[in-house]
Amino acid sequence: MNALLTQLIGSAVAVAAMVGLAAWARIPRPTLPLDQQTARDLIDTDYPGYPINAVWIAADGLGAIARSGDHALVLAQLGDSWVTRDMAWEAAVASPIRGGRVRLRTPDPAAPNLSLAVSGVTPWPPQRGPEAPESLIAA
Amino acid sequence: MTLDPIKPAFDPVTLAIPLFVLTIVGEILLRRFRKVKAAYETRDTATSLLMGLGSNIAGLLTGAAIVAVVIWVWQHRIFDIPMTAWWAWVAIFFIEDLTYYWFHRLSHERRFWWASHVNHHSSQHYNLATALRQTWTGGVAGTWLLWLPMALFGFPPAMIAIQKGISLVYQYWIHTEAIKKLPRWFEAVFNTPSHHRVHHARNARYLDANYAGILIIWDRLFGTYIPETDEEPPRYGLVKNLGDFNILRVAFHEWIGIGKDLAGSRSLREVLGYLFGPPGWSPDGSRETSATLKAKWLERQKAEGEAEAAPPMAAE
């Protein structure tokens, strides 16, 4: 029992040391804030064949919502990687804003909550203006 | 010489723990000084390593019961296989590896067992830490039952445990992008970083492939081998990636998904489909399985190929 406990404690210390080393090394994949084309490319990777009408980019560039007909294709950054989910466009438009972020709920237990930054310049849902194509404007 | 047929003389995985730590440190430092290809994201690394630690603890909870069942089956064995015979070790090497192939294939192609294996594929990174992102629910899922015929045949429990450990340790070092390709003869026979990168890829073309443990020959034999190509580098993770780094979500999300689906089932067919159908199965076919994703990918490839092969329009 003692040997087992020693092994577990030793493993926990080793885990902490390796995580600390990974943080110190700063070697994640390089990621830049999204632009329209990058967002489209990333969404197309997970949703090939879905026609994209228009894309809304989050205020901090760490996420996007693309409109594809009646679907919203949501892209959110996770660490140095990306997560995508689709939901009904109407549900995405109706998602609440709290703490400067639009809170998107999905029925998928693997990613039940995704949130993207909004601002006065990039409000959600998109408002009529030069930055928002007609297809993104909430009815 | 006599060896205890019940209690293993050594545990290859425990012996390999210092190797795991040293090589992860080595991979991080070599990448830090730009000597190898690798990427480590701090929270992803923490999740992988904590899943490994938690897997050890979860194993303690179910391990005793599993060992008891294996011993009981071995006590009713058909043959007496001596642990000291060289041929017994050669035989168990191949038989255990074949068993692993089918366990691994089942763990990908049937949702009930995928639910316990999915966590190993949930990182969007492919590094040595990812290798330690192990299951917490394997004991409950019962995939260990596949090894029982070996005990019934006569392989001592200690021998099975040692060979399983050797296989697990072998599979550790292939979780890396630092090694591109190994000599052709080695790639032809053994599971390698290149083969296993394909296995961890979420690209449609690479799904459900390369289930090998130590020997890639089983995939070649059973038609599940897909080589890695430079034209399409693997993208790692799940078809639908996890939304955060919560280790409880990593460990249990697919089980929760199964529970939700079963709660909404309206017939025995739906219950069986949600439990034992391929991951992504749904009664109306509205969700994607590996087979539908691959079929759509093939269709797109064909359409693109036809578009490229079409003669250019004549200039007016």
Tell me: pLDDT of A131 over 80: no
User: Smallest Cβ distance to B28: which of A4, A22, A113?
Assistant: A22
Cβ atoms of A59 and A53 closer than 8 Å: no
> Is A93 inside any structural domain?
yes
> Is A1 inside any structural domain?
no
> Is B315 inside any structural domain?
no
> Is B165 inside any structural domain?
yes
Tell me: pLDDT of B250 over 50: yes
Interface of B with A in 45-74 (CB under 8 A): 45-46, 49-50, 52-53, 56-57, 60
Specify the number of domains making up chain B: 1
> Is A31 inside any structural domain?
no
pTM equals 0.94
pLDDT-derived band at B309 (thresholds 50, 70, 90) equals confident
Cβ atoms of B92 and B155 closer than 8 Å: yes
Residues B12-30: tens digit of each pLDDT: 999 999 999 999 999 999 9
Boundaries of domain holding B251: 1-307
> Is A8 inside any structural domain?
no
CA distance A39 to chain B (A): 17
**Integer Cα distance of A17 and A7 in angstroms:** 15
Q: Chain B contacts of A81, Cβ < 8 Å?
A: 41, 44, 124-125, 237, 241
Q: What is the pLDDT of residue B316?
A: 35
Q: What average pLDDT is seen over chain B?
A: 96
Residues B195-245: tens digit of each pLDDT: 999 999 999 999 999 999 999 999 999 999 999 999 999 999 999 999 999
CA distance A66 to chain B (A): 17
Boundaries of domain holding A126: 36-136
- In A17-135, DSSP assigns E strands to 54-57, 63-68, 71-78, 81-88, 97-98, 101-105, 113-117
Task: Report the residue of chain A nearest B50, measured CA to CA.
Answer: A15
**Location of structure tokens 């709290």:** A98
Q: How many pairs of residues across A and B have Cβ atoms under 8 Å apart?
A: 122
Specify the number of domains making up chain A: 1
CB contact under 8 A, B29 and A25: yes
Tell me: pLDDT of A139 over 50: no
pLDDT-derived band at A74 (thresholds 50, 70, 90) equals very high
> Is B34 inside any structural domain?
yes
> Is A17 inside any structural domain?
no
Task: Report the residue of chain B nearest A76, measured CA to CA.
Answer: B243
CA distance A127 to chain B (A): 27
Tell me: pLDDT of B134 over 60: yes
